[in-house]
A and B are shown apart, each in its own frame.
Chain A
Amino acid sequence: MDLLTWGRSPWGEWVLTHVSWNLFWASLYAGILFFLAHASYMLFSAHRKRPSAETDRLEAARKDLPEKIERHNLTARLFHWVMAASMFVLLFTAFLPIAGVRFPWVQWHWMAGLVLIAAIAFHIIHASFFLDFWSIWVGPKDIPEFKAEILREFGHDVPGPKSGKYPLGNRLYHLAIVITGLAVSISGAFMLVRVRTPLFVRNPYLLRDFTWGVTYVTHGLAGTGLVGLVIAHVYFAVRPDKWWITKSMILGWITRRQYLEHHEPSRWVVGRQSSSPAAKPAGQA
């Protein structure tokens, strides 16, 4: 299977055109296979959850914490759902025609792309200046947590470290989305110059043929990658054991028990009192 497709330019040169759309099917099937494999494992394996007695003990000791703890403020939630909506429009408009469902997709696609780019730009500013920027990133400090999570998945009782504000899976996923999302957005922004929009005067000569080819390939690779990533994300979002995270992205808060069960208070410090219905963590607007 060729991963890239090539074309012939008027100057007789072979130029990159885009990725093979077989990669879309590969990503789709990989996402579905991951979902089936993980769901089967979770159903039939002996993976370990933390003992509830441990959480009971923590909750008894931390009665000072409010019942509801804010996990995502309204702005962050709005960003997430706007990004999710634009992402679904982008994926459906990009890949339904490839799957054989024909419709005029280009206008919907670039408009959703603009929404995504605006949302990402907003998120970068919001997360950099108004949220705890480093809480979502992974680094060497997370290796013990990673080991503990893996051992727990394989059935071992591990008292190991809990996560900060975001579970390790969240952070790894965020990293993957940062890479693919930025790649698809930046390449898409350049590609906008090639289609008719009210925004720009078309300029197919903005880049050289080779650079255009790389741009289209980048867009295609990131786009096909997002198919699998989004399937994985939706799968985890609807899993019963992860529903508390999804719910917090809708309502904005988690319970004190969920906070103590899943988070390390020293890594995600929550203010002792707040006038709002849900207490705001320290360092968060």
Chain B
Amino acid sequence: MAVIRDIIPAFELFQPASIDDAVRLIDKYRDDYWVLAGGLDSMDWLKDRLRRPRYVIDLTQINELVGIKDSGGGLEIGAMTPLTQVVHHPVVRDKFGLLAEAAELVASPQIRNQGTIGGNVSQDTRCWYYRGGWTCYRAGGNICYADTPTAINREHAILDADRCVAVSPSDTAPALVALEAQMVIRSSRGERVVAAEQYFVGPGIDITRMTTLQPGELLTSIRIPATWAGAQFYFEKVRDRQVWDFPLVNVASAIKFSNGKVDAARIVVGAVAATPKRLANVEAAIVGKARDEATADMAGRMAVEGAVTLRYNGYKVPLMRNLVKRAIRGSEGGTWTS
């Protein structure tokens, strides 16, 4: 494992005051820069000296990246908005409680004060082999140390692994995918907007990145449409330490009911793959069905189809199955067996 040396190698620090300035800087230094948001992911990399950028662009002085505003019945959240602000925002809590719940389960209060929503969705994976500085696939090498017969891989992927078995560690990401959020990305070429589902990239597409952000691009805001406002939400996170930990598995669901039957649904599971895993087949299967234990059982079974376990992460299969079942049940269905 990497030895924490605490002294960060020297770099040139920029603190732009506007998005335009930040975009100009990352475009100018596109071969050797690091974007600093809340710093909670960055400081590990820098202190471990596993990332040695020559230029660090600190976004904390850009006021236009902070805040939550109404947007046609939905919301637009600045990428540098602290998670605590997301948790306590009245409209988020009232209309998009799923996101408030997910954000509230991120780490600890201190980290939520410092951490930003943009940073939370864009953070790198927590695979310790990768973060230990060894040259695995994700670090440009030719091996996944977590997918070897003797690896310690309790937290790793059970779905969609492609050479690398690292998982997405974000709690807010599954909620944003469930809410059909859109990610606004700026670069010197202009602005592009991608669906949250496409923002996250698996190793099959790009084994060295977790998101679609390319050099020279900056996530500036997250738009949440009104589509799922007021739907029935469910978020649950299972972790080793209740006080402060990354998810072993988390689930986010948004379901609309009509006459007691599922009218529309979005179910997303985190920490089981390199991206938040949207269960489109489960969603399609439960539409038109009653919200009962049979439907939930079926959903749970379908959710884990195709799961491939490693030496130590087999527990994630029943965990994911039950979390999906509980997501269908919702917070009120306390009489079911799981």
B-binding residues in A (CB < 8 A)? 5-10, 15, 17-18, 97, 102-106, 194-196, 202, 204-205, 212-213, 216
The answer to whether A9 and B140 touch across the interface, beta carbons within 8 angstroms, is no
Residues of A within 8 A of B140 (CB): 5, 7, 17
Q: A106-B162, A196-B161 are in contact. Are A212 and B134 (CB under 8 A)?
A: no
Q: In B192-234, which residues have CB < 8 Å from any A CB?
A: 201-202, 204-206
| Sample of 20 further A-B pairs with CB below 8 A, known A104-B202, A195-B163, A213-B142 | A7-B135, A7-B142, A8-B133, A8-B135, A9-B134, A10-B134, A17-B140, A17-B142, A18-B142, A97-B206, A104-B162, A104-B204, A104-B205, A196-B161, A196-B162, A196-B308, A202-B147, A204-B143, A212-B142, A212-B143
Closest to B143 in A: A204
Residues of B within 8 A of A (CB): 129, 132-135, 139-145, 147-149, 161-163, 201-202, 204-206, 308
A106 and B163 contacting across the interface, CB-CB below 8 Å: yes
Q: A86 to B202, alpha carbons, bound, how many Å?
A: 26
Nearest CB in chain B: distance from A283 CB, A: 46
**Complex alpha-carbon distance, A196 and B165, angstroms:** 11
A8 to B142, CA, bound (A): 11
Q: Which residues of B contact A216 (CB under 8 A)?
A: 142
Residues of B within 8 A of A15 (CB): 135
Q: How far is the CA of A7 from the CA of B132 in the complex (A)?
A: 13
Q: Given A5-B140, A196-B161, A106–B135 Cβ distance below 8 Å?
A: no
A-B contact pairs, 18 of them (CB 8 A): A7-B134, A7-B135, A7-B139, A7-B140, A8-B133, A9-B135, A17-B140, A17-B142, A102-B201, A104-B204, A104-B205, A105-B204, A106-B163, A194-B142, A194-B163, A195-B163, A204-B144, A212-B142
Instruction: Enumerate the 5 nearest inter-chain pairs by beta-carbon distance, A residue then B residue, closest first.
Output: A7-B135, A104-B204, A7-B141, A17-B141, A102-B205
Considering the chains assembled together, what is the distance between the CA atoms of A204 and B140 in angstroms? 16
Cβ of A102: which chain B residues have Cβ within 8 Å of it? 201, 205-206
Report how far A202 CA is from B308 CA in the complex, Å.
13
Complex: A195 Cα to B140 Cα, angstroms:
16
Inter-subunit contact B162/A8 (CB<8 Å): no
Residues of B with C-beta under 8 A to A7 = 134-135, 139-142
